Amino acid sequence: MDDDTDSEVNIRTAERIAGAPLPTPAKLRMRQNFFVQLGRFACINLRMMRIIFRGHG
């Protein structure tokens, strides 16, 4: 492989990452909040259980 190609791809990837929107401080707090994550965990598990039971019923 050619090192020039790899570095060109890495530069383009780094530019795209740098242009990505950053989360707001409120969004970061929400992502780190234990109770919010516990609620999200419960919701996704309930959704999965509903799909599983619907398939086996």
Higher pLDDT, 38 or 4: 38
Residue-wise pLDDT tens digits, 15-52: 999 999 999 999 999 999 999 999 999 999 999 999 99
Q: How far is it, in rounded angstroms, from Cα 32 to Cα 24?
A: 13
Residue 2 pLDDT grade (very low, low, confident, very high; cuts 50, 70, 90): low
pTM of the full structure: 0.59
20-56 residues labelled b (16+ CB within 10 A) or e (exposed): eeeeeeeeeeeeeeeeeeeeeeeeeeeeeeeeeeeee
Residue 56 has pLDDT above 80, yes or no: no
| Residue 47 tokens, joined | 């959704």
